[in-house]
Chains A and B, each alone.
Chain A
Amino acid sequence: MENTLGSKPTQRPEAIETILESLERYNSESIPVLEAYVTKQASEGFNDIAANLALLKHYQFSVRAAKDDIILSVLSMALVKFYTSDFTSALHLLPSFVLTLENPPNDSLAQQTQKLYHLYTLLDSARYTEFWSTFESDDSYADIVADVSGFEDELRLSIAKTVEVSSKQIAVPVFQDWSNLSESKFTKWIEDTLHWVIKDKSVIVPVNKDNDPKVTITTENIRFDQLSRIIKRAYELEQPVN
């Protein structure tokens, strides 16, 4: 699982880096730059959460500058990486009413955020089958994430990633439901995209450091400074007492 906050995406341009590392991050002239960067991420299929959080921070202070479609793009991209803290980090920066407002007006930011949030809770608890059925139950979901190119493919990869970490083998019907693909597409996806093998109605996940748990016994390490008082005492003993 990658640490999205601690590492910077290779695609991040110098100009964005400068904004993030200086007080430019508070300059309102940075807003259009960061917004354009969100659009770029959405169309090119990568996600720079640190930059996007900086934009949401701007929106925190100047509510009038906030653009709903940009916010929803940021959330949708964060949703793709549902196994990190990206999505909740972004949510925490939104106005307090978006999640708590009951019966929000149609197509309002609050309503759409609440929809994404519902999807997030399904993904977060690994209820992937339910996620897909909800996602396809209503066109409005696809509309919200429409700006993020390859949303479904990327999300499927994230689901595969959680499987890779947690499983040695997974039954074909289960994984097929989880990835929401027809049989032929599923086989192709497993073999061509993931490069995994299907055998006896099971998908075999290559062994990695996470799906092969081992019993470990940790032994204690004694640091030198823990012994400092004892060593000091040894020195004191050479001195005449009092």
Chain B
Amino acid sequence: MEDYEYDDFEAGNETIAVGEHVYDEAALLRQQEALMEAARKAAYVPEAIKEFILYFQKCLHEKNVYELLSCYDNSFRKLTEKFYKNLPWPSPELAVAPIVNNDQTFLLFYKELYYRHLYAKGQPTIEQRLDSYHNYCTLFDFIINSETPTDIELPTQWCWDMIDEFIYQFNSFSIFRSRLIKKGNASQADLELLEKNVGVWGAYPVLNVLYSLAGKANITAQLKATKNGQDATQVAGPFGSKPLYNTLGYFSLIGLLRVHTLLGDYALALKTLEDVQLNKRALLSRVTGAHYTTYYYVGFCYLMLRRYADAIKSFSHILVFISRTKNINRNAQFDNVNKKSDQMYALLAICVALCPTRLDDIIHTGMREKYGEQLSKMNRGGPDALKTFEELFVFAAPKFISPTPPDFEHPEYNVEPLQHHLKIFLETVKTANLGYTLKNYLNLYATMDIRKLSGFLETDVELLRSALVSFKIKNKQTKWTEGALLDGESVNVSEIDIALDNDLIHIAESKDGRKFADWFIRNTLKNYTAQEFIANPDSKQDQQHDKSKKQHNRPKKDTNNTKKDSTPAPSTSSSAPVAAK
């Protein structure tokens, strides 16, 4: 639903000529706003929308979570499609308040959707951004700062979306503000408005909301208890035992992971998740958005902490999941999932270039298809490689935030945080980048004289010696084995291990034995499908037909990949029916 592009407001500077009049972007925008304003003032609400709002209100108060989900997830989207594709939803104060009898509680939640829709449809004005912020403050205040827990219940999906959107708008505001100041063509009124509201959408209040939500539900204590096999409800407290608080608290931890990452604090980001179990049964894997968001940020943090093996594991895990479920995922989220998965393939390519690793077949193929060219560029080294690292990083990194409001007086100090993080990252790349070339020479020998290698590489012997020490040290990474995300043991993650013996390099390669199990299991299952089809050719024909089609496609991918897959994979195309028993 959200637009993760963020750069929509760069598109501008369009002009339209109408007869002798030429309208520039600003003039057009003013007129568009006037049109919207008129629509808002008219406070006209179609009958269907009126009915919907009343029903929505009823479900919220009757705690009918099931129906509420259908309103939220289904009706709202469909009605948007029909009525408000290009217009904002009816104004909360002017149009909706009279319909719902000025029900402030309902309006809080309605406004959350109203502003989210505004953000999704285009570029909100400064006032709208500020209003939305204030609505979130009031909404969270309503939830957190009451004597007793509110008895409102929200669908899990909505809880996630709310946290997600809150952070998205925070992120979007920060970028919007710094671009406005950088461009230098912002109107005086806008600048004054921003300066007056300098605390709005600040990192501090945003963190405060997320920590408060997590704290209110005692979520850390609950997760610790669950992890130790105790009953979480014992420590949940009056708030934490309510699903609303519990869910919001839990998702706030993921929100914190994200905000800390955006601020460049990768260590704290991972620490925030220390009690969250990343497994199939976790709450986060029940909401698609939460699922891929978590793994994206966890992987990214590992990448920035130079734990490439862990980053690769995180990205691979979620990319396998996405590729397996992409056919059943709902359409509304499809674009977001796609975009995130492209970003993760890019980050994965970066990781693999820095730390050559065997990947899961599906992932390897996916990465080659999308970034094969870039990967070989990165592996070749040199200035071209560095440029490619930079391109992929800029494309795939989250949109960093500056923790402090921009300096209105000294614009030269307003460096985009991306430039800062990128610079540090690229320095790491420069030293690690020789790795691939070294590996290619080293795996041909068991021992080798350093002078010989320096001859091949046309470098100075002492520089090469340094490079080899650096290569070895870079390959000794902290790798997670169990416990919290920051835990881990120091292991050699490369397939090539070396030791220097004066001028002699000892080289040992660790090899993966042939792997049969996966191939065997897949084909056994294929065989079952074929048997079923033969046994019941009529009853389930369509369904079976579909299935076998899908399976025809799969082996093709595998065979593209023969270099990687050491299994000879005989007759992978054996989805032809095997003799029935």
Q: Which residues of A contact B (CB under 8 A)?
A: 1-3, 5-6, 23, 26, 49-50, 53-54, 57, 60-61, 63, 83, 85, 88-89, 91-101, 117, 121, 124-129, 162-163, 165-171, 174, 202, 210-220, 222, 226-227, 229-230, 233, 241-242
Contacts and interface: CB of A to CB of B under 8 A. Distances in A.
Interface in B491-521: 492, 497-503, 506-513, 515-518, 521
Given A50-B267, A88-B306, A163-B469, A23 B215 contact: yes
A169 B490 contact: no
B84 to A, nearest CB: 38
Interface in B85-133: none
A230 B402 contact: no
A173 to B, nearest CB: 10
A210 B512 contact: no
Contacts of B430: 121, 125
A212 B499 contact: yes
B203 interface: yes
Interface residues of B, number: 78
Contacts of A6: 478, 484, 486-488
Given A6-B486, A229-B525, A219 B513 contact: yes
Interface in B290-334: 304-307
Contacts of B395: none
B473 interface: yes
Interface stretch (B158-166, B236-244, B376-384, B459-467): B459-467
Contact of B470 (A126, A212, A214): A126
Nearest to B307: A85
B499 A53 contact: no
A100 B415 contact: yes
B466 A127 contact: yes
A202 B502 contact: yes
Given A6-B484, A96-B402, A126-B466, A213 B513 contact: no
Given A6-B487, A92-B424, A170 B415 contact: no
A215 B263 CA distance: 42
Given A63-B404, A96-B417, A125-B467, A57 B473 contact: no
B227 interface: no
Contacts of A5: 267, 305, 486
A124 B173 CA distance: 37
- The 5 A-B pairs at the shortest CB distance, nearest first, are namely A213-B497, A213-B508, A96-B420, A92-B264, A96-B415
B499 A211 contact: yes
Contact of B521 (A26, A213, A227): A227
A162 B469 CA distance: 7
A134 to B, nearest CB: 14
B404 A126 contact: no
B268 A57 contact: yes
Given A85-B305, A213-B498, 4 more contacts: A1-B476, A1-B478, A3-B489, A124-B431
Given A166-B473, A174-B465, A227-B521, A210 B431 contact: no
B511 A218 contact: yes
Given A53-B265, A124-B427, A125-B466, A61 B306 contact: no
A99 B420 CA distance: 7
A107 B403 CA distance: 24
Contacts of B263: 60, 93
A174 B468 CA distance: 14
Nearest to B497: A213
